[in-house]
């Protein structure tokens, strides 16, 4: 069995170096050994006494793309994304109509979305998961990145009663690799206590955190119409929730 796989193409684009005509990338044990002109890569491997298998591609070879924020489970809701809306609230109503109607195959749709990533040359993603059935999409497809468990809709009272316990159980159930992270949905969909506690949970677990900010105009209206700094009010005893702050 060969020690190394040499992936060669008419052009290799390393991104961090000039493009290479008739280039090659030598991979050993999941790690890149050499990148350069095909002849140089092959000669170097032979000098090192390493056997190799070459796989040749027509076209261009370059590092995989990264999708920094996706919701693979919503691949089956493409009709919502194709619509035209009068703003965020209008879009949210259209989204909720489809989501709340049920009948969607979250696992199958997420797997289909992962296949679309690979077909586009995307090999790493930050996938935000709302429903547990979709949690294994990156894992099953062999993609890199982070699968984030989305946390939303918690009031302060519900969070104190069972929030951290339920979120912890959801995180523990997510398959790895890739890495797992926490995604507090947004300031408008979580009361203050869960929104402030979730970053601490992420730190204790050594996880990344991912949040939607500036998603709706309501988050910007405060600074346009109020004199009190939003950050100051958020830290006060009057900040039970973003909704309460607005009222």
Confidence of residue 89 (pLDDT cuts 50, 70, 90): confident
Please calculate the CA angle 157-160-161 and round it to the nearest 5 degrees.
Answer: 85
Q: Across the chain, what does the average pLDDT equal? A: 89
pLDDT at position 240 is 59
Mean pLDDT of 193-222: 84
Confidence of residue 7 (pLDDT cuts 50, 70, 90): very high
pLDDT at position 130 is 96
Q: Quick check: 241 pLDDT over 60?
A: no
pLDDT at position 238 is 58
Question: What's the pLDDT tens digit per position in 29-69?
Answer: 989 999 999 999 999 999 999 999 999 998 899 999 999 99
Cα distances (Å, whole numbers) of residue 70 to 41, 138, 150, 158 = 36, 11, 12, 28
Confidence of residue 3 (pLDDT cuts 50, 70, 90): confident
**Of the candidates 122, 133, 160, which has an alpha carbon nearest to the alpha carbon of residue 76?**
133
| Burial annotation 99-135 (CB, 10 A radius, 16+ → b, else e) | eeeeebebbebbbebbeebeeeebbbbbbbbbeebbb
Provide the percentage of residues in the chain whose pLDDT is more than 90. 76
Question: What's the pLDDT tens digit per position in 157-188?
Answer: 999 999 999 999 999 999 999 999 999 998 88
Question: What's the pLDDT tens digit per position in 70-84?
Answer: 999 999 999 999 999
CA pair distance 190, 178, nearest whole angstrom: 27
For residue 184, how many other CB atoms are within 10 A of its CB? 25
Quote the tokens at residue 219. Answer: 């988050």
For residue 119, which phi and psi values (nearest 5 degrees)?
-65, -25
Beta-strand runs (E) in the chain: 4-12, 20-28, 31-37, 52-61, 65-70, 122-129, 144-151, 179-184
pLDDT at position 243 is 57
Cα distances (Å, whole numbers) of residue 61 to 20, 53, 78, 142, 173 = 10, 17, 30, 19, 36
């Amino acid at each position: 069995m060969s020690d190394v796989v040499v992936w060669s193409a008419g052009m290799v684009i390393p991104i961090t170096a000039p493009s290479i005509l008739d280039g090659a990338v030598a991979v050993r044990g999941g790690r890149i050994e050499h990148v350069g002109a095909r002849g140089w890569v092959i000669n170097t491997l032979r000098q090192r006494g390493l056997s190799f298998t070459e796989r040749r591609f027509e076209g261009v070879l370059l590092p995989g793309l990264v999708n920094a924020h996706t919701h693979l489970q919503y691949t089956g809701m493409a009709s919502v994304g194709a619509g035209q809306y009068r703003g965020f609230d209008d879009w949210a109503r259209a989204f909720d109509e489809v989501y709340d109607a049920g009948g969607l195959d979250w696992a199958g749709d997420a797997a289909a979305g992962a296949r679309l990533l690979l077909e586009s040359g995307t090999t790493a993603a930050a996938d935000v998961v709302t429903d547990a059935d979709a949690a294994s999409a990156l894992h099953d497809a062999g993609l890199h990145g982070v699968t984030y468990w989305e946390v939303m809709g918690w009031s302060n009272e519900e969070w104190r009663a069972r929030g951290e316990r339920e979120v912890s159980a959801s995180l523990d159930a997510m398959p790895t690799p890739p890495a797992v992270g926490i995604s507090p949905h947004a300031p408008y969909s979580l009361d203050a206590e869960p929104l402030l506690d979730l970053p601490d949970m992420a730190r204790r677990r050594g996880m990344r955190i991912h949040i939607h900010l500036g998603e709706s105009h309501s988050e910007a209206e405060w600074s346009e119409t109020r004199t009190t700094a939003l950050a100051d009010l958020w830290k006060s005893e009057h900040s039970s929730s973003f909704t309460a702050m607005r009222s």
